[in-house]
Structure 1
Amino acid sequence: MSSGLQQFDRLGAGLGQPLAPDERGALPQVAGPEKVRQAMLTILDTDPGERLMRPAFGCGLRRWLMAPNNATTRTQITREIEQALARWEPRITVQAVDVAATNDPSTVLIEIHYAHVLDARQDVLVYPFYLAT
């Protein structure tokens, strides 16, 4: 097996998100960096207490719904994300989390700059978060 395939395997493989069958009825499969990215999204989208067998899992971003879009809220969101990813995603090292206001006062744009632990490859995950529904 080539070195590149070994790295892909070590990053993980499995069912993709969203979990919906394609036109042939097959469930989506993902591997490598895309699997890591989807795992990060799962962490961000999950609140602690949602998972019965792992009640501490998740980031808890929903607690910031209806919070004011100010520097204090954005700093707290940054800290929550850094802590959750450090705890739940061992395949990456978070380098920076930027939570920025947008033209829409009910939205912040989250940029997570990270490196894959396996090969130090750098990547960015952009995640819009809506403070108001």
Structure 2
Amino acid sequence: MTTEEWIGKGPRFPLRPGPAGNLEYVTGDELIRQAIGTILDTDPGERVMLPGFGCGLRRYIMEPNTTATRAAMERDIEAALTRWEPRIDLTNVAVTPGEEPSLVWIDISYVRLVDRREDNLVYPFYLR
């Protein structure tokens, strides 16, 4: 089984037609990054058939950009990614303040389990 077969293939989100008019699909690193983004963008209870799915970052909107808020976000992100993304081994999650008072940077470091390749994703999130 190849690395790409193990990671899988899925539709690109948002759904849109490709150049030939059919749906576009993603594989490999792009699929994993898209899955991480989906987990971060989804609130638990939002998906009817999978009510526990998601991270719930929206609950931090309008919270102060403090060390306590960022630490709570880190814990929630670690728990959600550990539970919902089985293709990676999470190595680090860091939530740091951005240039603007309402901006935080979410830095996610992980290892792909299929080939032990290290990767990271930086995700901006606005608290206001």
- Common fold by TM > 0.5: yes
Distance 1:65 1:96 in 2: 23
Decide which of 28, 38, 44 is 1:32's aligned counterpart. 28
Write the distance in 1 (CA, Å) between the matches of 2:57 and 2:13: 19
In the TM superposition, what is the alpha-carbon distance from 1:23 to its structure 2 partner? Answer: 4.5
> 2: distance between equivalents of 1:25 and 1:57?
31
**Sequence identity of aligned pairs in percent?**
52
What number of residue pairs does the alignment pair up?
A: 128
- Write the distance in 1 (CA, Å) between the matches of 2:7 and 2:38: 16
Match in the other structure for 1:55: 51
Whole-angstrom CA distance in 2 between matches of 1:32 and 1:22: 18
TM-score normalized by structure 1? 0.92
Runs of 4+ in 1 over 2 A off after TM superposition: 22-26
- For 1:96, the aligned partner's letter is N
Report the RMSD for the aligned CA atoms in angstroms: 1.1
- Aligned partner of 1:63: which letter? R
Q: Which residue does 1:21 correspond to in 2?
A: 17
SS at match of 1:103: coil
Q: Which amino acid aligns with 2:23?
A: L
CA displacement 1:5-34 (0-9 Å, x = unmatched): x11110010211221223442221111121
Matched residue SS, 1:9: helix
Aligned equivalent of 1:73, options 69, 74, 87: 69
Greater alpha carbon shift after TM alignment, 11-20 vs 85-94: 11-20
Partners of 1:71 and 1:32 in 2: CA distance: 34
Long gaps (5+) in structure 1: none
Q: Secondary structure at the match of 1:75?
A: helix
Quote the residue 2:91 is aligned against: 95
SS of the aligned residue for 2:91 comes to strand
The one of 117, 121, 124 equivalent to 2:117 is 121
- 1:107 is matched with which residue? 103
* 1:12–1:36 Cα contact (<8 Å) kept: no
